[in-house]
Amino acid sequence: MAALKALFEYRLCSDPVQARTKWLNIIEANDLLWTFISSPKRELIRSILNTLNLEIVKRARPTSVFNFAEASIGNMFLTGARIFSGSFESAIYLLSIVCSIPSTISVLPAINSNFTHHISAGLDDGSSIAGQVAISHPSAPTALPDDALVAPALTAADHDRIEDANLPGSLPVLRRQHIAFSKDDEEPLPAPIQRVWYINPYGHEIWPVANPKVIEAVAASAMVVYSIGSLYTSIVPSLILRGVGQAISGPGVAKKVLLLNSRLDRETGGMTGWGFVEAVARAASESWDPAVVGREDQLSRYVSHLVYLEGEGTPAVDVQALERVGVRCVRVEGVKVKGMVRYHEGMLGRALEGILDE
């Protein structure tokens, strides 16, 4: 299992030429990453990766070639399996079989589709940002410092002349290859995020329906946990899908636990625990009952417990204010890792078990 984990976690280097060479070595089974992987699994994985490689070669054009820089082998496998089977759910199932994931664990795509879905964020100042990467971690600047040498930005017409899989007229920002990005030196957003919504390739708002299996799984759960991650580009996009909020607010889901991040990022700069709870409740309400968006009496409907850390850099939590509206706050001891406060795995597990047993 360690060898499979190393393979699927492996990310190609940032140099496009070296990354392509490494990729070819992997799909030709000439790389050390295969050393401790059994022959049957190796050939199955290679067949899926070669399915993807064939698609990449078929789509190559003088104006559009695939850039392997920083590509994840695990993501490449999922993409190849989706192309092979025609189903993202089937791709996940195949990966779970290869990795011997227990049958008690299910990984369900929030949207069961073969098409790319994009999001846009509206800020408090009235402006908006299109694209998940542009919201959370914009591509690192790669232009030369001398303005006279900077190539002009491509126009929509320029993009339309590029032969790729995007529809003519698609938003240029959604057609970029966001390969070089940084989450270490994040430039703050010009204003806080107010709302997130899905858009089609032309920038118009759409309202996708959640995967029915996700709705069924949520409705049948005793506890829902909003895990640690990017609030507006990971959690909220799953909540605004039609049907999700209604399933979470159903009578069967007794506990709705929000794990508060250990630090703020570009998306959440300046936010407190209240703001996180409010964002989750707003997103869940928008998915099925927009009339109640923003009401305080809706907060505990979607978040019953807030698990948080205390320490330098952690979001502030007003326990009294949250518990006044029915959100119980549970503080967990953290540990310092590279100068940052992080959740202690054992203590976090015990805290969640305690909430479930209440």
Residue 45: pLDDT over 90: yes
User: To which H or E segment does residue 130 belong?
Assistant: strand 128-130
- pLDDT reading at 160 higher than 90: no
**Mean pLDDT of all residues belonging to the chain:** 88
Residue 184 has pLDDT above 70, yes or no: no
Over 80: is that where the pLDDT of 169 sits? no
Read off the pLDDT band of 116 (50, 70, 90). confident
Mean pLDDT, residues 25-46 taken together: 96
> What tokens appear for 90 in the block?
């089937």
2-9 and 73-85 are packed helices; what angle lies between their axes, rounded to 10 degrees? 90
Look up tokens 């990467």; give the residue: 133
73-85 and 39-59 are packed helices; what angle lies between their axes, rounded to 10 degrees? 80
Confidence of residue 129 (pLDDT cuts 50, 70, 90): very high
118-123, strands of its sheet edge to edge: 128-130, 118-123, 193-199, 205-206
Note the pLDDT of residue 148: 33
Task: Decide: helix, strand or coil at residue 219.
Answer: helix
Q: Which pLDDT score is estimated for 337?
A: 87
Residue 140: per-residue pLDDT: 45
CB neighbours (10 Å) of residue 4?
20
- Residue 298's pLDDT is what? 95
Has residue 100 got a pLDDT over 80? yes
Task: Report the SS3 class of residue 319.
Answer: helix
- Report d(CA 111, CA 115) in Å as an integer: 10
Q: What is the b/e burial string over 70-86, where b = at least 16 CB atoms within 10 angstroms of the residue's CB?
A: ebebbebbbbbbbebee
Yes or no: say if 273 and 325 are a contact pair by the CB < 8 Å rule. no
What average pLDDT score do residues 278-295 get?
A: 94
Question: In the prediction, which pLDDT does 317 show?
Answer: 97
CA 306 to centroid of chain Cα atoms: 21
pLDDT at 146 over 80: no
**Domain boundaries of the chain, sorted by first residue:** 2-98, 208-357
State the residue for tokens 């089977």.
85
Give Cα 241 distance to the centre of its chain. 14
116 or 247: which leads in pLDDT: 247
CA 341 to chain centroid, in Å, comes to 22
By residue count, the chain amounts to 358
State the pLDDT at residue 283: 97
244: nearest Cα among 261, 256, 229: 256
The answer to whether 27 and 46 have CB atoms below 8 angstroms apart is yes
3-state class (DSSP) for residue 175: coil
Whole-number pLDDT of residue 163: 54
Lowest mean pLDDT among 109-118, 200-209, 341-350: 109-118
